[in-house]
Amino acid sequence: MKVCVIGLGKLGAPLAACMAARGMTVVGVDADKRKVEAINHGKPPVPEPGLAEMLAEAGGRLTAVEQIAPAVAHSDLTFIVVSTPSEAGGGFSLKYVEPTCREIGRTLASKKEYHVVSLTSTVMPGTTGGRVRSLLEHSSGKRCGPDFGLCYSPEFIALGSVIRDFLNPDMLLIGESDQRAGDTLAALYRQVCENQPAVARMNFVNAEVTKLAVNTYVTTKISFANMLARISERLPGADVDVITSALGLDSRIGGKYLKGAISYGGPCFPRDNLAMAALARQVGTSPELAQSVDHFNRWQVEWLADFVQQHSQGPVGVLGLTYKPGTDVVEEAVGLLLARELSQRGVAVIAYDPWGEENSARVLGDRVRLTPGAEECIAGADLVVLTTPWREFASIPGERWARAGTPRTVVDCWRLLKHLGRQPGVRYLVLGACEDKA
């Protein structure tokens, strides 16, 4: 099978590399010349663990171009993996999807072979069978179903583990125009996946709602665990890890994402949650559940800023500015939001992140001083907050956190540094458990 992947960003590039590594001939398309050149030189166009190795395994089966038409013309299946930026009110913009569909359609007009178009980008329900289908049919002069196939098949992956998640998905979601289109896409996934995931096949709108529903449910679960963490901090003897471990044993609940800590962030969870609320309003039902989760999540940044100020009289160090380890993405990251909030309150803030310095600097400007290493950040702070659980932070020797005279306060949001509870020169404050042990 010959595959075209339009969009070589943080999702598209790993997907293209994985399919090529599994024996397919893949052509990637991106308007960014730097990404195209990187792919053609076997270099990762975006930072993602394992991508360099996957590109090496792909070898000459993966190439990249800047034009859509030749890539679609010489492929059997096209993935649309372009950005769908959030809009005011909670929807998604199609400003990149629409011109992509027009160009694909114009190319399909002259193709005799059957071709499947699979939309991976997150969209609002009604989009695939509405605007996307209409653009493809109008531009090609062909009919969806008899003449070409159309699918909506979003990925359930997390940055920092895209390759692992793509190769070993919990399930595959395929919204299909017809059985032939769905069969074609399912066959591709069977060749790529290392496991044997369940495949949920349905119409477009059910698949579109399912995508939003999965992420909204996960954000609700994360927020529930975080609520338990805030409660545990006020009850002598309570420990959120003990509580959530027991909860996770119940098959109705499960242990995934049940880690009481601090706000979720990133490019998917916050916006999909808001999109579900927008969808509820759009169809005339209550959006309150999704809205409450979003409000609680944002409140936690203010709560954490208040907590930090209550325990510090000097500069504050923030360790971790990306929304999770293994990525350079700082979008909605609690560490970045905390640094910005504290700086706006007049607090001197210094910060460090292994991968997120460049992206953080664009957002924070000169309001926050970024250090070249974690130990420099620690040394310059009266209080240090660990906001992203990068494993390298746990390997810093205990004495490097310590301070002569007045102990340095360390706020551990992820319970990654429990050894500091016995470290002289450190006042260790752990979130999710009460200091006053029963």
Catalytic residue list = 268
Tally the C-alpha atoms within 13 A of residue 83's C-alpha that lie toward its C-beta: 11
For residue 175, give the nearest of 212, 147, 142, 141 by alpha carbon. Answer: 212
Cβ distance 70 to 182 under 8 Å?
no
Indicate the pairing of strand 149-152 with strand 171-176: antiparallel
135-157: b (≥16 Cβ within 10 Å) or e: bbbebbebebbebbbbbbbbbbb
3-state secondary structure (DSSP) of residue 148 = strand
193 in helix, strand or coil?
Answer: coil
Helix axes 204-232, 288-310, angle to 10 degrees: 30
The pair of structure tokens assigned to 95 is 């400003």
Kindly provide the b/e burial profile for residues 56-85, where b requires at least 16 CB atoms within 10 angstroms of the residue's own CB.
Answer: eebeebbbbbeebeebbbebbbbbbbbbbe
Of residues 205, 178, 201, the one with CA closest to residue 124: 205
Phi then psi for residue 386, to 5 deg, are: -95, 110
- CA 15, 16, 19, 22 torsion: positive or negative? negative
Q: Output the six-digit token pair for 108.
A: 């399909």
> For 174, phi and psi rounded to 5 degrees?
-130, 110
Element containing residue 345 per DSSP (H, E):
none
The residue count of the chain comes to 438
Q: Spell out where 9-89 has E strands.
A: 25-29, 62-65, 77-80
Structure tokens given for 110: 């002259």
Amino acid symbol at 253: I
